[in-house]
Amino acid sequence: MPMQDSSLDSQDGRYKAAADEFGPALERLARGVEADPAERHDLLQDIHLALWRSMALFDGRCSLRSWVYRVAHNTAASHVVARRRVPKGKCIEELELADGQPGPEEAVSDGQLLERLMDLIRSLRPQDAQLMLLYLEDLSAEDIGEITAMSAGAVATKIHRIKALLARQFWKARR
């Protein structure tokens, strides 16, 4: 079904609406894919550029959310493939704390746990990492299936298996 809102008739208008609505999710996706802050910034720019370009083709046959996630995840997958061709170095990421957040000790502990989880997700095969990142965005198996061209049942099964694998690796590393 074509989009009806006249403010969304232009490529720029559709992009702005998508970026406004899904910007934080795109940032989380970039964080889940890329540990290096500079590379993460580049990836996020690439995602936004691909999203803007894709809006010329968006005709509303699928939801805007599905479109945005599909473009973002395809861009991220291309980024991962390109990065695997280049030797990578380890970078230590700065922990960003906002006002009203937990104290420094709790924030560091939570940040370390989150970073460990992101490291484990980044170590997965790209398709499995994509599934987990979409799952962490609270998308349903049906929505993830629409984005990844998998059946909802296959998505649910793979997510269950990946969660079990991540849990084993996470707790094994904590011992």
The helix/strand count (H/E) of the chain reads as: 7, 0
Render pLDDT for 41-97 as a digit per residue (tens, 0 to 9). 999 999 999 999 999 988 888 889 999 999 998 898 888 777 766 444 433 333 344
For residue 1, pLDDT over 70 is answered with no
* Domain identity same for 81 and 107: no
Shared domain for 25 and 87, answered yes or no, is yes
Mark whether 152 and 130 lie in a shared domain.
yes
* CA contacts within 13 A on the Cβ side of 159: 23
16 and 84 in one domain? yes
CATH number of 40's domain: 1.10.1740.10
Query: What Rg do the C-alpha atoms of the chain give, in angstroms?
Result: 17
Instruction: Render pLDDT for 11-47 as a digit per residue (tens, 0 to 9).
Output: 899 999 999 999 999 999 898 888 889 999 999 999 9
Sign of CA dihedral 51, 146, 65, 134: negative
- CATH code where residue 138 lies: 1.10.10
> Tokens representing 21?
């609505």
Give the domain extent around 68.
Answer: 1-91
pLDDT for res 88: 45
Among residues 130, 103, 118, the alpha carbon closest in space to that of 37 is found at 118
Domain count, the chain: 2
Give me the pLDDT at residue 114, please. Answer: 76
CA 149 to chain centre: 17
Question: What share of the chain has pLDDT > 90, as a percent?
Answer: 29
Please check whether residues 14 and 64 belong to one and the same domain. Answer: yes
Percent of the chain scoring above 70 in pLDDT:
78
* Whole-angstrom distance, CA of residue 44 vs CA of residue 65: 17
Write down which residue in 53, 74, 91 finishes a domain: 91
Q: Verify that 135 and 76 share a domain, yes or no.
A: no
The residue with greater pLDDT, 21 or 170, is: 21
3-state SS, residue 48: helix
Contacts of 15 (CB under 8 A, 6+ apart): 51, 52, 55
Q: Are residues 29 and 71 in the same domain?
A: yes
Does 158 lie in the same domain as 84? Answer: no
**What average pLDDT does this structure show over 143-152?**
90
Residue 130 · residue 77 · CB < 8 Å = yes
Regarding whether 110 and 86 lie in a shared domain, the answer is no
Show the tokens assigned to 62.
């699928």
Q: How high is the pLDDT of residue 16?
A: 94
Mean pLDDT, residues 90-118 taken together: 54
Q: Are residues 75 and 132 in the same domain?
A: no
Res 123 pLDDT > 80: yes
Residues 128, 48 within the same domain: no
- Whole-angstrom CA distances from 19 to 72, 95, 111 are 11, 25, 26
